[in-house]
Structure 1
Amino acid sequence: MTLRKCKVLYFFLMAVAGFFLPAGAQQMGTESIYDQHEVWNPVFYTYNGNEFRSATGAPGPKYWQNRADYVIHATLDTTNHTITGDVVITYRNNSPDALPFLWLQLDQNIYRKDSRGEATSPVTGGRFANKSFTQGYEIKSVEIIQDGKTEKADYLVNDTRMQIRLHTPLKAQGGSLQIHIRYAFEVPQYGTDRMGRLLTKNGWIYEIAQWYPRMEVYDDVLGWNTIPYLGAGEFYLEYGDFDYYITAPANMIVVGSGELQNPTQVLTPTEIARLNKARNSDETVMIHDSTDVINPNFRPMKGNLTWHFKMFNARDVSWAASKAFMWDAARINLPNGKHALAQSVYPVESAGHDAWSRSTEFVKGCIELYSQEWYPYTYPVATNVAGIVNGMEYPGIVFCSYRSRGRGLWGVTNHEFGHNWFPMIVGSNERKYPWMDEGFNTFINDVDTKVFNHGEFYRKTDAEREAQYMFGENAEPIMTIPDVIQANYLGVAAYSKPAMGLHILRKYILGPDRFDYGFRTYIRRWAFKHPTPWDFFHTMENAGGEDLSWFFREWFFTTWKLDQAVEGVKYVDDDTTKGALITLANLQKMALPVVMAIQLTDGSTDTVQLPAEIWQRGGEWTFKYDCNRRIASIVIDPEHDFPDINPDNNVWRMKEEKPVPPGVSATDIIQKYIQALGGADKLNAVQDLSITSVASFGDEDVTFINRYKKPHDYLMEVTAPSLQQPAVHIVVKGDSVRVQQMGNEMSLSPDRKKIFQREAVMFPVLSYLKNDYQKTLAPQMEYLDSTWVYVVTIHTPDGQEIKNYYSANSGLLLKSVTTTQGPMGSVSTEQITTDYRPVNGILFPFTIVSNSMGQDIKMQVKEIKVNSGLTDADFK
Structure 2
Amino acid sequence: MKKFYLCALSLLVLQGLFAQQNGSKYNQHEAFAPGFYTQTGNMYRSASGTPGPDYWQNRADYDIQVKLDTAAKTIKGAVQINYTNNSPDELPYLWLYVDQNIYREDSRATATTDIGGGRWATPIYTQGDEISNITLKMDGKSYQPKYRITDTRLQILLPKALAGKGGKVAVQIDYGFSIPERGTDRMGRLDTKNGWIYEIAQWYPRMCVYDDVEGWNTLPYLGAGEFYLEYGDIHYSITAPSDLVIVGSGTLDNPKEVLTKKQIEQLDKAKNSDATVTIHSLDDVKSGKDHLSQKELTWKFSCINTRDVAWAASKAFIWDAARIKMQSGNQILGQSVYPEESATTNGWDSSTYYTKKAIEINSYWHDFPYPVATNVAGTVGGMEYPGIVFCSARSTGPGLWFVTLHEFGHNWFPMLVGSNERKYAWMDEGFNTFTNFYCSRIFNNGAYNNEPDKYRIARSFFKPGAEVPMTIPDVLQAANLGNEGYYKPAVGLLILRDVVLGPERFDAAFKQYIKDWAYKHPTPADFFHSMENTAGEDLGWFWRGWFYNNWAIDQAVNKVDYVNGDPTKGALITLENIGQMPLPVQMDIEQDNGQTLHLKLPVEIWQRGGTWTLQAKTTSKVKKITLDPQRQYPDVDSTNNVWPNAASTAEAIPQGVSAQDIINDYLQAIGGKDKLSAVKTYHETLTGDASGTKLNVSLNYKAPDKFAEEVNLPDMNMQVMKVVLDGDKGTMTQQGKTQPLEGKMLESFKSSLGVFPELKYQNPGYKLEAKDIQEINGKKAYRVLITDPIGQVTTSYYDIDSHLKVKTESAQGGAQFSDYKAVKGILIPHASITENMGHSAKMTATLIQINENIADSTFQ
Give the structure-2-normalised TM-score: 0.91
Q: Which residue of 2 aligns with 1:469?
A: 460
What's the RMSD between the two structures over aligned residues? Answer: 3.3
Are 1:359 and 1:384, in contact at CA under 8 Å, matched by a contact in 2? yes
Does 1:663 pair with 2:656?
yes
Aligned with 2:381 (options 383, 387, 390): 390
SS of 1:287's partner is strand
Cα distance in 2 between the residues matched to 1:174 and 1:748: 56
Aligned with 1:455 (options 446, 455, 458): 446
Does 1:400 pair with 2:416?
no
Cα distance in 2 between the residues matched to 1:504 and 1:751: 34
Q: Which residue of 2 aligns with 1:207?
A: 199
Cα distance in 2 between the residues matched to 1:469 and 1:251: 50
Cα distance in 2 between the residues matched to 1:270 and 1:322: 19
What is the identity percentage for the equivalent residue pairs of Structure 1 and Structure 2? 49
Q: Which residue of 2 aligns with 1:498?
A: 489
Cα distance in 2 between the residues matched to 1:731 and 1:384: 37
SS of 1:123's partner is coil
Q: Which residue of 1 aligns with 2:841?
A: 858
* Residue 83 of structure 1, CA deviation: 0.8
Cα distance in 2 between the residues matched to 1:766 and 1:560: 39
Does 1:38 pair with 2:30?
yes
* Residue 268 of structure 1, CA deviation: 1.7
Q: Which residue of 2 aligns with 1:696?
A: 689
1:542-573 Cα shifts (integer Å, max 9, x gaps): 11011111111211111222222221111111
Aligned with 1:530 (options 518, 521, 527): 521
Q: Which residue of 2 aligns with 1:101?
A: 93
SS of 2:80's partner is strand
Cα distance in 1 between the residues matched to 2:26 and 2:464: 18
1:606-646 Cα shifts (integer Å, max 9, x gaps): 43222111100111111111213322332322333212223
Matches within 5 A, 1:86-125: 86-125=78-117
SS of 1:778's partner is strand
Aligned with 2:348 (options 337, 343, 356): 356
Identify the range of structure 1 (804-813 vs 483-492) with the bigger mean alpha-carbon deviation: 804-813
* Residue 311 of structure 1, CA deviation: 1.0
1:690–1:808 CA distance, 2 compared to 1 (3 A): same
Cα distance in 2 between the residues matched to 1:508 and 1:810: 44
1:598–1:862 CA distance, 2 compared to 1 (3 A): farther
Q: Which residue of 1 aligns with 2:332?
A: 340
1:654-691 Cα shifts (integer Å, max 9, x gaps): 74464332333334433444565577799799999875
* Residue 787 of structure 1, CA deviation: 5.1
Does 1:222 pair with 2:208?
no
Are 1:34 and 1:588, in contact at CA under 8 Å, matched by a contact in 2? yes
Aligned with 1:150 (options 142, 146, 154): 142
* Residue 803 of structure 1, CA deviation: 3.3
SS of 2:656's partner is coil
Aligned residues: 855
Cα distance in 1 between the residues matched to 2:236 and 2:402: 31
Does 1:635 pair with 2:626?
yes
SS of 1:617's partner is coil
Does 1:719 pair with 2:712?
yes
Does 1:303 pair with 2:295?
yes
Cα distance in 1 between the residues matched to 2:753 and 2:766: 21
Cα distance in 1 between the residues matched to 2:649 and 2:176: 76
Does 1:137 pair with 2:120?
no
* Residue 844 of structure 1, CA deviation: 5.2
Cα distance in 1 between the residues matched to 2:34 and 2:766: 54
Q: Which residue of 1 aligns with 2:176?
A: 184
Aligned with 1:168 (options 150, 156, 160): 160
Q: Which residue of 2 aligns with 1:831?
A: 815
Cα distance in 2 between the residues matched to 1:74 and 1:537: 42
Gaps of at least 5 residues in structure 1 are 819-826
* Residue 441 of structure 1, CA deviation: 0.6
SS of 1:424's partner is coil
Q: Which residue of 2 aligns with 1:69?
A: 61
SS of 2:688's partner is strand
Cα distance in 2 between the residues matched to 1:616 and 1:750: 40
Are 2:766 and 2:786, in contact at CA under 8 Å, matched by a contact in 1? yes
SS of 1:68's partner is strand
Cα distance in 2 between the residues matched to 1:21 and 1:332: 46
Are 1:428 and 1:437, in contact at CA under 8 Å, matched by a contact in 2? yes
Identify the range of structure 1 (702-711 vs 239-248) with the bigger mean alpha-carbon deviation: 702-711
Are 1:691 and 1:861, in contact at CA under 8 Å, matched by a contact in 2? no
Code of the residue aligned with 1:75 in structure 2: it is K
1:621–1:834 CA distance, 2 compared to 1 (3 A): farther
Does 1:848 pair with 2:828?
no
Does 1:622 pair with 2:613?
yes
Does 1:263 pair with 2:255?
yes
Cα distance in 1 between the residues matched to 2:718 and 2:841: 22
Matches within 5 A, 1:534-553: 534-553=525-544
Does 1:47 pair with 2:45?
no
Matches within 5 A, 1:567-582: 567-582=558-573
Are 2:381 and 2:717, in contact at CA under 8 Å, matched by a contact in 1? no
Code of the residue aligned with 1:859 in structure 2: it is K
Gaps of at least 5 residues in structure 2 are none
Identify the range of structure 1 (422-431 vs 703-712) with the bigger mean alpha-carbon deviation: 703-712
SS of 1:232's partner is coil
SS of 2:714's partner is coil
Code of the residue aligned with 1:697 in structure 2: it is A
* Residue 96 of structure 1, CA deviation: 2.2
Q: Which residue of 2 aligns with 1:822?
A: none
Cα distance in 1 between the residues matched to 2:719 and 2:133: 45
1:188-221 Cα shifts (integer Å, max 9, x gaps): 1221111111222222211111111111112222
* Residue 364 of structure 1, CA deviation: 0.9
Are 1:568 and 1:582, in contact at CA under 8 Å, matched by a contact in 2? yes
1:121–1:844 CA distance, 2 compared to 1 (3 A): closer
1:206–1:20 CA distance, 2 compared to 1 (3 A): farther
Cα distance in 1 between the residues matched to 2:437 and 2:17: 25
1:102–1:793 CA distance, 2 compared to 1 (3 A): closer
Q: Which residue of 2 aligns with 1:2?
A: 2
Code of the residue aligned with 1:297 in structure 2: it is K
Cα distance in 2 between the residues matched to 1:746 and 1:541: 41
Code of the residue aligned with 1:492 in structure 2: it is N
Cα distance in 2 between the residues matched to 1:306 and 1:110: 28
1:386-431 Cα shifts (integer Å, max 9, x gaps): 1111111110011111121111111111111001001111111112
Q: Which residue of 1 aligns with 2:48?
A: 56
Are 2:118 and 2:737, in contact at CA under 8 Å, matched by a contact in 1? no
Cα distance in 2 between the residues matched to 1:558 and 1:799: 27
Code of the residue aligned with 1:849 in structure 2: it is I
1:264-290 Cα shifts (integer Å, max 9, x gaps): 211122222222222221111222222
1:201–1:193 CA distance, 2 compared to 1 (3 A): same
Q: Which residue of 1 aligns with 2:361?
A: 369
Identify the range of structure 1 (840-849 vs 295-304) with the bigger mean alpha-carbon deviation: 840-849
Cα distance in 2 between the residues matched to 1:468 and 1:452: 28
Cα distance in 1 between the residues matched to 2:723 and 2:31: 46
Code of the residue aligned with 1:66 in structure 2: it is N
Cα distance in 2 between the residues matched to 1:730 and 1:63: 51
Cα distance in 2 between the residues matched to 1:78 and 1:674: 63
1:808–1:291 CA distance, 2 compared to 1 (3 A): same
Are 2:452 and 2:839, in contact at CA under 8 Å, matched by a contact in 1? no
Are 1:728 and 1:739, in contact at CA under 8 Å, matched by a contact in 2? no
Matches within 5 A, 1:533-612: 533-602=524-593, 604-612=595-603
* Residue 777 of structure 1, CA deviation: 4.8
Identify the range of structure 1 (617-626 vs 131-140) with the bigger mean alpha-carbon deviation: 131-140
Cα distance in 2 between the residues matched to 1:34 and 1:197: 52
